[in-house]
A and B are shown apart, each in its own frame.
Chain A
Amino acid sequence: MARLIKLGFPLVCMAWSIIACSKYLAPVKQQYIQYQVGDSVSADSAYIRYYLPYKQQLEAEMDRVIGHLDVNLTKGDNAPETLLGNFFADALLAEGRKSYPDAEFSFGTKGGLRIELQRGDITIGHLFELMPFENELVLLELSGQNVQQLAQFIASTGGQPISGIRMKIKDNQPVDVQIAGKPIDTSRTYKLLTYDYLANGGDNSRGLENPVNRINLGKKVRETLIDYVSQQTREGKHINTQLDGRITRN
């Protein structure tokens, strides 16, 4: 219900009479004046006419089906590993590797994934809602020590979207952290795909602040997801993300 609730001063001090006495100025009680709802007042059609072409363009784009999901991609209830997280991190890694084949693992944060996706058609609009931000992919070369710090962040926050890396969480600490099937080697560096928000210190993530090297890919995360789904469709595949035990908690 639309209405203005307006505070009106009761007719304490009528009109312009000069009554220099606060007693007369003191409102007896608060009086709310509520304007009635009018049936005849509607949206200004000139404004709708103005934005309609944009809306049509936008809807046509948003409704465009680019793929198919066989499972509901959920955020899980505090689960360390989730279908939505796996889909997201797998997409980042697969698409990032097209430009940088030596990228070894990917990392995002669950807070950045804004909706769950339901099985069925995947539209551009779904991916806009999942990732409304304009974040862009970043490739970071990290020391083994920094990877270990990142693993600690992931463990201490109960698991985050990752791909190419596996770990167990014990007492909020990471154990058995593995990349490409091998434990973290602190004498070498690793290449991580993530995005600028996190690389710049967002979500209080740790381990990313002093990379050996950083490359901004200039590609939006959302576009990356769109490309990933489109690629699957071109290959005749549906998205059928599974849990694979990449993060477990005990």
Chain B
Amino acid sequence: MEELHAINRRNFLKQAGSLAALSSLGSMPLAAMANDEHVSLTILHTNDVHSRIEPFPMDGSRNQGLGGVARRATLVERIRSEQPNVLLLDAGDTVQGTPYFNLFGGKVELELMSKMGYDASTFGNHEFDNGLEGLAKMLPYARFPFLTANYDFSNTILKGKTRDYIIFKKQGLRIGVFGLGIQLDGLVDPNHYRDVHYLPPIDTANAFANRLKHDYKCSLVVCLSHLGYRYSDGQVSDQVLAANTRGIDLIIGGHTHTFMPQPEHIRNLDGEITTVNQVGFAGINLGRLDYQFERQSGKKKLVTAGRYEISERLPALNG
């Protein structure tokens, strides 16, 4: 169980070297360090929750008792009460996998995510399972945007119902988030995505990362990706994306249901670090990444990374 969690020490050192020597001070909450010079940001994330509203049933299966929105909600609220700046993000495939979706078409999933205060998600391939009509029907239940920069919906009924990116402002910090989806050919019934134009993910990512970083001066650029963590055949994955782009700080991934033991740090085209993280599926885990920014210089570092396993007992966050 002791999976997790580290950050890239070398990179941390590199970035930290020129800064005042910051430290997370052991277990001291980051909020305690907030001051005029520094701003902290906590990113919480899920992917491939697949309509897992309730925990897995206690039927002897491997994941029995894990997950469930009600416990995730408690956990998220706890963290929000401790941290000044929290973003709650999701990387797609919110639906399909339990009869909640078959019977209610995505309403329950999206209303609960809205209630929990998700800040943004993206489309996985399973968002298309009931066709564009089904998608259009469920979208109004989401009070957060779906970011879909590389799906061009302009000739479909989804036109104007999703966004390419969003910029969050936290204590003067600007955090730019955009979303990328997977090629639907072969994954989804063609009738379910008719007239959707797929844009190449790497080009799209470079364009938006550049815009967010340089035009909009975002201190952190995050990509919500449903491309998948990695493939053996060279298909565009989060690993490929990270290595072939500039300006993305963090890729929150999905699709491959990968339980990453820790975030992966990949050198991008500029030789800078792009962090990739993905936390399995079904809401079994909640991922957490804590960043700290120096207000003056805008310099940042990933302070801690970890993940919570959502089970029958929740952690008391203050130990």
Chain A residues at the B interface, C-beta cutoff of 8 Å: 1-20, 22, 24-27, 30-33, 35-48, 50-51, 54-55, 57-58, 61-62, 125, 128, 132, 134, 196-197, 200-201, 222
Chain A, Cβ-Cβ closest to B190 = A200
Are the CB atoms of B308 and A9 closer together than 8 Å?
no
Return chain B residues, CB-CB under 8 Å to A5: 1-5, 306-307
Chain B residues at the A interface, C-beta cutoff of 8 Å: 1-7, 9, 13, 16-18, 20-27, 53-54, 68-71, 73-75, 77-78, 96-97, 99-100, 102-104, 108, 111-112, 115-116, 129-130, 186, 189-191, 288, 303-319
Are the CB atoms of B112 and A200 closer together than 8 Å?
no
Are the CB atoms of B115 and A47 closer together than 8 Å?
yes
Return chain B residues, CB-CB under 8 Å to A61: 99, 103
CA distance A27 to B22 in the complex (A): 12
Min CB distance A124 to B, Å, is: 9
Return chain B residues, CB-CB under 8 Å to A51: 53-54, 69, 100, 108, 112
Are the CB atoms of A7 and B189 closer together than 8 Å?
no
Beyond A44-B74, A54-B108, is A6–B27 a contact (Cβ under 8 Å)?
yes
* Extra A-B contacts (11), CB below 8 Å, given A20-B17, A30-B6: A2-B312, A15-B25, A18-B21, A25-B21, A37-B316, A41-B315, A43-B71, A54-B53, A54-B104, A62-B99, A196-B189
CA distance A19 to B116 in the complex (A): 42
Cβ-neighbour of A58 out of B22, B103, B307 (below 8 A): B103
Are the CB atoms of A6 and B5 closer together than 8 Å?
yes
CA distance A58 to B69 in the complex (A): 17
Return chain A residues, CB-CB under 8 Å to B190: 200
Cβ-neighbour of A47 out of B25, B112, B186, B315 (below 8 A): B112
Min CB distance B64 to A, Å, is: 14
Chain A, Cβ-Cβ closest to B102 = A128
Min CB distance B67 to A, Å, is: 11
Min CB distance B313 to A, Å, is: 5
Return chain B residues, CB-CB under 8 Å to A30: 6
Beyond A13-B23, A18-B21, A55-B54, is A2–B104 a contact (Cβ under 8 Å)?
no
Beyond A4-B315, A54-B108, is A47–B69 a contact (Cβ under 8 Å)?
yes
Return chain B residues, CB-CB under 8 Å to A58: 99-100, 103
Chain B, Cβ-Cβ closest to A14 = B23
Chain A, Cβ-Cβ closest to B131 = A134
CA distance A8 to B290 in the complex (A): 11
Identify which of B54, B70, B71 gathers the most chain A CB atoms within 10 Å of its CB: B70
